[in-house]
Amino acid sequence: MRALVCDTLTDDFSGLSVQDIPVPEVGEGEVLVRVKAASVNFPDLLMSQGQYQMKPELPFTQGMECAGTVEAVGEGVSEFSPGDRVVGGNKTGAFAEFALLPASSLSRVPENMGFAEAAAYPAAYLTAYVALVRRGNLQPGETLLVHGASGGVGMAAVDVGKLLGATVIATSASDAKLDKVIEHGADYVINVTQGFRDKVKTLTAGRGADVIFDPVGGDVFDESVRCIAFDGRLLVVGFTSGRIPEVKVNMPLIKGFSVVGVRAGEYGRRFPERGKENMAAIWKWAAEGKTRPRVHADLPLEKWREAYRLLTDREVVGKVILRP
């Protein structure tokens, strides 16, 4: 089968190539999926550079989530059968014609959703759900500030925030991207290139944002501390800016806000029952047509460099899909 394999960790992705490798054998509790679409996530890029917290043994097949049809099931798997439309993921292995996935990671693709949308959905929307529901306790009528709103996870946060009844302020560094975010449902948008603190204060009548969703870090985090409401929750989702920020603890003390870490996958591993509830909730929304990911580009596997470039150059509005 064709697969995007990482042989060497390099900054410029030169250690990656499409190769012919054996189709993996199905083991107990596993499902072999014929991949129809796979979603490119920022951690995929970091993993190939050796900059992600998880470092797979070389060589490894790239890709964390995909959608497709069941090809075969392993011993002990009764909930899926060949031909079923499924979506799920693992830490590696999705950028290939076949992916071997734990049956426990799989969900059925709703009838109203294609493979590309399904592949783009779980990681982004699970992150948004865990951040806003489980960790941020976002309430109807509160103000949610979403940074990096044009990315896949950011757009999911906008989507979920509106569904939960919040007023959503979205930020990005591009007016063109913000136009797409408005179309996706944000109430207000701010271009962060000239700062956002004062605009957030104006939009909230001086209170500040009740919940701030921050996958960016760096200067964006620093300025967020200046426009968060009393009793607010500043959600640390990631550091796509490249700088891990610091906060002097007198600021949360004086302003009465919380800094809350978000690791959606780890949350489900630590609390398995809640993890099942989280997945059930986001897929129920999808089946009801209440949430919908935006696919920015849908590319064949051979154009993986273009997919990686789109993420590296921050041109993506939504998610990028690869089709093996």
Please state, for a pLDDT cut of 90, what percent of the chain lies above it: 93
Please give the helix or strand (H or E) that residue 272 lies within, else none: helix 272-287
Mean pLDDT, residues 272-276: 93
On the question of pLDDT at 282 being above 90, the answer is yes
Q: What is the pLDDT of residues 137-162, one digit of tens each?
A: 999 999 999 999 999 999 999 999 99
Residue-level pLDDT at 288? 95
Band of pLDDT at residue 22, cut at 50, 70 and 90: very high
Tokens for 137?
């306790």
Mean pLDDT, residues 253-258: 95
Which of 186-190, 257-261, 310-314 bottoms out in mean pLDDT, i.e. has the lowest? 310-314
Q: Alpha helix (H) ranges present in 164-248?
A: 175-183, 197-203, 218-224
* Average pLDDT, rounded, for the chain: 95
Tokens for 69?
């049809």
Task: Select the more confidently predicted residue: 265 or 109.
Answer: 109
Mean pLDDT, residues 231-258: 93
Please state whether beta strands 258-261 and 228-236 pair in parallel, antiparallel, or not at all (unpaired). parallel
| Integer Cα distance of 162 and 176 in angstroms | 21
Please state whether beta strands 167-172 and 188-191 pair in parallel, antiparallel, or not at all (unpaired). parallel
DSSP, collapsed to helix, strand or coil, labels residue 74 as coil
Residue-level pLDDT at 241? 85
Mean pLDDT, residues 98-112: 95
Domains of the chain and CATH, by start = 2-121+293-323 (3.90.180.10), 124-266 (3.40.50.720)
Residue-level pLDDT at 273? 94
Mean pLDDT, residues 291-319: 94
On the question of pLDDT at 52 being above 90, the answer is no
On the question of pLDDT at 67 being above 90, the answer is yes
Residue-level pLDDT at 85? 98
pTM of the model: 0.92
On the question of pLDDT at 240 being above 90, the answer is no
Residue-level pLDDT at 100? 97
Mean pLDDT, residues 279-295: 95
Type of residue found at 137: N
Band of pLDDT at residue 63, cut at 50, 70 and 90: very high
113: left (phi over 0), alpha (psi -120 to 50) or beta: beta
Comparing CA positions, the residue from 266, 256, 188, 203 lying closest to residue 225 is 256
Band of pLDDT at residue 136, cut at 50, 70 and 90: very high
Residue-level pLDDT at 127? 96
Mean pLDDT, residues 31-50: 95
